[in-house]
Structure 1
Amino acid sequence: MIDEAGTRDTAAAMAGAARVWLDTLDPGQRETATGHAPSGDAGTDAERRRWFYTPTDHGGLSFHEQLPPQQRAAMQLLAAGLSRPAYVTLCTVMGLENVLDATEGFTALFDRTRGRDPQAYHLRIFGEPGATGTWAWRFGGHHVSVNVLVVDGAVVATTPFFLGADPATSQLLGESLLRPLGPVEDLARDLVRSLPAELRARAVLLDAAPPDLVGANRTDPAEGDNWIPLRGIWRAPFAAADRWAELVEASDAIEDRTGIAERDKPAVALSRTPAGVPASDLDAAQREQLRALLATYLRRVPDALSPITRYDDDAALDRVHLAWAGSLRPGEPHYYRLQGPRLLLEWDNTQRDANHAHSVWRDPSADFGLDVLGAHRAARHLS
């Protein structure tokens, strides 16, 4: 159960950090760094509801546009809104931009002067941080998207929450490996491999894996949705036509490598009725492994904000379904999702020879706090 007092304490800490950051900005920076207060109106709230996980403009003030003390204040806000493990993972993901740049021979540009850039992360505050009214913050860049909504001094939404890693696995000194999202992958694979043959056949939707998250970066995932090609997950086409053509070519190549025929796409499409195997069919050890897997997503926020204790209830856990697509062998392309009431978790590791991972935690009924905002707006209107 969500700790209401804890959500208020966390909201107060975030509001304080947000105000400190805003107070460091000059008028020009502040104009870029702020947006319309969250509302139930789709028009005025449209920008807040946009999110990305590609190296595009995520909207807001980038670290390039901030002085070091301002960057530190921005990171303080992140630290206030994330669990310590999630904060460390996020910082590692940002740092991987330098590793990825080397992997690609320091050539990627996209629509800027450096394509793989640990400074190309953006923070935006929507509304006025405080104990009353609505305000929100969004932090994003390549493989990071954090979205938080506060209403009347309480945190009411922390999704979508995206973390990726490219490379997903890197060599370190001492014959060790850096795998920022390793358990997010391994726990799921081990769980599916532990299933008896009949259950495994139900869990594995397709022998090939979709090339990306099936829900993609949609504001409101819906019945029948499927992945969006890479070229569709950018804020806008590039001004330089030749660079945009390169991205389109890369996007098409990723599609071709899936080996998924058009007739097979419905097998992995989103559905209101969860696909795969329900936790009610798992044995005791498998259920505990599922709880551990859920924690790799739901403990990305401080304990007071996390819904993880919901799944201490066996009846709630029973309604979570596990579905898989692709190979069950490590190092080969694969995808999975966990779905249940107020829950949609997706993972894929398919691109760059299965060394490029994506993971997202979503609450389809309440992403961006749209359920709360609608009720809040109605109450204010009636008053």
Structure 2
Amino acid sequence: MDSSSSRTKKSLRLGAGVAVLVGLTTVGAPSSSADSSFDPSAAQARIAGADRYATAAAIALSTWDAADTVVVANGESNGIDAISASYLAGAVNAPILLTQAGTVPAATAEALAALDPSEVVVVGGESSVSASTYATLTAGRSGDRIAGTDRFDTAARIAQAAADASSAPATSVFIARGDVYGNQVAADALAVSPVAYRAGVPVLLTGADGLSASTAAALSALQPTSVVVLGGENSVSAAIAGQAAAAAGVDSTTRLQGADRTETAAAIAESGIAADAGFLDTGVGLANGYRIDALAAGPAAGEAGFPLLLTGSATTLGAGTERYLQENAATLTTAQVYGGTASVANSATRAAAVAGGNDDPAGASDVVTLAEAFAAALTDDQKTALYQEYTFANASNWSNLPNDLLGGGGGGGGTPPTGGTAPTGAPTGGTPPTGAPTSGATATATATGTATEAPTGTATGTAPGGGGTSSGRVGLQTDSLTDEQWTALETLLAAATGSGENEGYDEIVQHLAADDYLADNGGGDSYGRGNFFVAFLGTPADTGTWELQFGGHHLAVANTYTDGALAGATPSFRGIEPMTTVTLDGVTVDAEQQERAAFAAVLASLDETQKNTARLSQSFNDIVLGPGSDWAFPETASGVKGSDLDDTQRALVLAAIGKYVGDIADADAATVLAGYESELDDTYVSYAGTGNMTDIGDYVRIDGPSVWIEFSLQNGVVLEGAHPHAVWRDKTTDYGGQTS
């Protein structure tokens, strides 16, 4: 391993703007100039691929045109060897790529071919990178493997190999917790990886029970003058710190720590060792502190001279990251965001921009601008599919079913259903609830009918809730989107929906992952994120009316805009299968769990008299006002009335409503929820089933002057067990108030 590479790296100078299409995704080096605002939400700030392997490849290719040496580590599970390898990568001027144990991912193979190294260094034993995978990685190149008996021994051997390859001995050593398993993240070691790369500081690992013999031996051999412990004593105890000091032959250790992983990452960024290595206060890297998508970020951030900050979740910054950005807002100009929106959501990057002093980040631009940007990324044929007429037939042509089960096959529309006519007593597009967005549209309802406890409409098709009334979705199918186009769509959806954890955009991400899970676990090709549709009904503009429609299996987003303002965000359908928490490609799917718990809390708060009043006489195997049952609200509400609830119970009802209203953009959600709160006295709660909201047949309804929400548990379709369907409707602003 030669540390004096003559190969070139991509320029990451401040002010340079480079967008590189690498065959995996569009990635961008920081694009900034002296007079531009700090904006992590800008598309060019994000470096991401379809999965962690493609993300690592994108990171490498955004920084290196070519490399004499490439370091490869296992990217499965927690990827701890990749984090330990940052010091080695710095010593030999190399990017890090990721592989699976038994096969080389296509993204990794493509990146390796593009970088064209003369040497590949594999870290980890054959259980991490098999002999056949090693042979594939090193074919036509010289190869080397650094492996120990376990992760602690491997980290120690990496440190020694890097020290041997470096032109200067290591004077400091980092000690971090390394006993993380499954999809857990060695967050402190991840946060320090750019410093390890740039400053030439090894990262050694410890467990909770004491310093391993391998780590102690490495400390003794390296003979550092300082040992820096990462994290508080809950991570690395004082006893272990003392063992490390003794092994290294130093009097004591220093500690970089914070109240949580975001604070520890900020402490690393603010440390003297980072400053001495030339880290800048003009830029930052941003990665999820609980996911392993940024395993290869250390070399890229180290090359740029950017500290690596960690988010508290996919959608939230965390206290340490927010504080660091606020305190450095005067100098920040540039950001790199590592990983896709499932790792670092657009809501988080917008929050980062605001914390860094940018009050008008790109990601928070109005929906019209982002809709136009998405359309601009499409081909002519895709645009033809995207743009549809703004008609009630198109707007009401949504379903909760997989698209393959709908007549017409999707995309082209076919003949939509009549959608259900408005019964007597249904609104005629009149005044929205107090505080709700006002529709500029004129709506009419001419049909008559009656509705009682179980609403009945005259909609054509199958039973309400089943989705059989749709004849194929209109719009552009997502299986045609490139990674660049997906990113533009995600940015649009994030701006049009809520930023809360498990709400809005975060919930959409989980719904897409859930459908991928069904595809992989018995559902087949009818399921998966490629089977969703996006449509612009009408032309996005600040005048007139148009609708942003996005949906697929178990998901319907229907935002109607009139004269630049949200005129309605319903019908809004959510369902999920499975209802139990699962993880797919690092995305934790527990959408609808908060909603289920909120309804259960409402029902549990009722006394026996209230429960008897709230209990419906019918049984339910699905929601009532599902696809095709438009404007069929009952004339007379059933259940316990809000005015008969105490303040605590009313707060629980409002919280349950908020779980659905929170799916729309935050400012709009606050306005709509205030309107519903003003109507709580005349809002009714009813239920059927056990009331626990855990069993098949459990059903709950909130019926107010404006709000209508149903939540129902029914049999699973692909998987065993109960799964929920839910719909939020508004009696005045469904479809922006249009009834025909």
Contact 2:693 2:699 in 1 (8 A): no
Q: How does 1:237-252 map to 2 (within 5 A)?
A: none
How many Å apart are 1:331 and its aligned residue?
3.0
> Whole-Å Cα distance in 1 between the matches of residues 639 and 541 of structure 2?
43
What whole-Å deviation, never above 9, does each CA across 1:320-369 have from its counterpart, x for those lacking one? 11110112245312111101111111111122265311122111232111
SS in 1 for 2:610: helix
SS in 2 for 1:350: strand
> Whole-Å Cα distance in 1 between the matches of residues 643 and 689 of structure 2?
24
- Tell me whether 1:30 sits opposite 2:383 in the alignment: yes
SS in 2 for 1:362: strand
> Whole-Å Cα distance in 2 between the matches of residues 17 and 277 of structure 1?
43
Question: Cα 1:296–1:131, aligned 2, differ >3 Å: closer, same or farther?
Answer: same
Which of 125, 130, 134 does residue 541 from structure 2 map onto? 130
Question: Cα 1:337–1:10, aligned 2, differ >3 Å: closer, same or farther?
Answer: farther
Which of 276, 279, 283 does residue 639 from structure 2 map onto? 276
- Tell me whether 1:61 sits opposite 2:476 in the alignment: yes
Which of 465, 476, 485 does residue 70 from structure 1 map onto? 485
SS in 2 for 1:119: helix
Contact 1:207 1:327 in 2 (8 A): no
> Whole-Å Cα distance in 1 between the matches of residues 721 and 640 of structure 2?
24
> Whole-Å Cα distance in 1 between the matches of residues 372 and 728 of structure 2?
27
> Whole-Å Cα distance in 2 between the matches of residues 101 and 355 of structure 1?
18
- Tell me whether 1:319 sits opposite 2:678 in the alignment: no
Instruction: Specify the alignment match of 1:366 in structure 2.
Output: 733
- Tell me whether 1:18 sits opposite 2:371 in the alignment: yes
Q: How does 1:166-315 map to 2 (within 5 A)?
A: 166-171=577-582, 178-206=589-617, 208=619, 210-218=620-628, 220-222=630-632, 271-306=634-669, 307-313=672-678
> Whole-Å Cα distance in 2 between the matches of residues 11 and 370 of structure 1?
26
Instruction: Give the letter aligned to residue 729 of structure 2.
Output: R
Instruction: Specify the alignment match of 1:341 in structure 2.
Output: 705
SS in 2 for 1:185: helix
> Whole-Å Cα distance in 1 between the matches of residues 703 and 665 of structure 2?
22
Contact 1:10 1:81 in 2 (8 A): no
> Whole-Å Cα distance in 2 between the matches of residues 61 and 143 of structure 1?
18
Contact 1:220 1:364 in 2 (8 A): no
**CA RMSD for the aligned pairs?**
2.4
> Whole-Å Cα distance in 1 between the matches of residues 569 and 508 of structure 2?
15
**Given the two structures, how large is their TM-score scaled by the length of structure 2?**
0.39
What whole-Å deviation, never above 9, does each CA across 1:146-190 have from its counterpart, x for those lacking one? 0111112222111111121111112569xxx85311121122122
> Whole-Å Cα distance in 2 between the matches of residues 28 and 98 of structure 1?
26
Instruction: Give the letter aligned to residue 723 of structure 2.
Output: H
Instruction: Give the letter aligned to residue 340 of structure 1.
Output: G
Question: Cα 1:78–1:356, aligned 2, differ >3 Å: closer, same or farther?
Answer: same
Question: Cα 1:312–1:45, aligned 2, differ >3 Å: closer, same or farther?
Answer: closer
Between Structure 1 and Structure 2, the one with more helix by share is 1
Instruction: Give 5+ residue unaligned stretches, structure 1.
Output: 1-8, 39-43, 224-270, 375-383
How many Å apart are 1:99 and its aligned residue?
2.1
> Whole-Å Cα distance in 2 between the matches of residues 148 and 302 of structure 1?
10
Question: Cα 1:142–1:35, aligned 2, differ >3 Å: closer, same or farther?
Answer: same
- Tell me whether 1:49 sits opposite 2:396 in the alignment: yes
What whole-Å deviation, never above 9, does each CA across 1:279-305 have from its counterpart, x for those lacking one? 111112111111111110111112321
Question: Cα 1:274–1:10, aligned 2, differ >3 Å: closer, same or farther?
Answer: farther
Rg larger for: 2
SS in 2 for 1:213: coil
Contact 2:582 2:590 in 1 (8 A): no
> Whole-Å Cα distance in 2 between the matches of residues 11 and 133 of structure 1?
22
> Whole-Å Cα distance in 2 between the matches of residues 201 and 318 of structure 1?
19
Question: Cα 1:29–1:171, aligned 2, differ >3 Å: closer, same or farther?
Answer: closer
Instruction: Specify the alignment match of 1:355 in structure 2.
Output: 722
Question: Cα 1:73–1:295, aligned 2, differ >3 Å: closer, same or farther?
Answer: same
How many Å apart are 1:312 and its aligned residue?
4.2
> Whole-Å Cα distance in 1 between the matches of residues 549 and 625 of structure 2?
19
What whole-Å deviation, never above 9, does each CA across 1:165-224 have from its counterpart, x for those lacking one? 111112569xxx85311121122122212211111011111474x11111111252315x
**Given the two structures, how large is their TM-score scaled by the length of structure 1?**
0.73
Instruction: Specify the alignment match of 2:507 in structure 1.
Output: 89
Instruction: Give 5+ residue unaligned stretches, structure 2.
Output: 1-361, 404-409, 411-472
How many Å apart are 1:102 and its aligned residue?
4.1
Contact 2:685 2:700 in 1 (8 A): yes
Contact 2:477 2:531 in 1 (8 A): yes
Q: Which stretches of structure 1, 4 residues or longer, exceed 4 Å deviation after superposition? A: 9-12
> Whole-Å Cα distance in 1 between the matches of residues 363 and 726 of structure 2?
24
Instruction: Give the letter aligned to residue 131 of structure 1.
Output: D
> Whole-Å Cα distance in 1 between the matches of residues 631 and 566 of structure 2?
23
How many Å apart are 1:310 and its aligned residue?
2.1
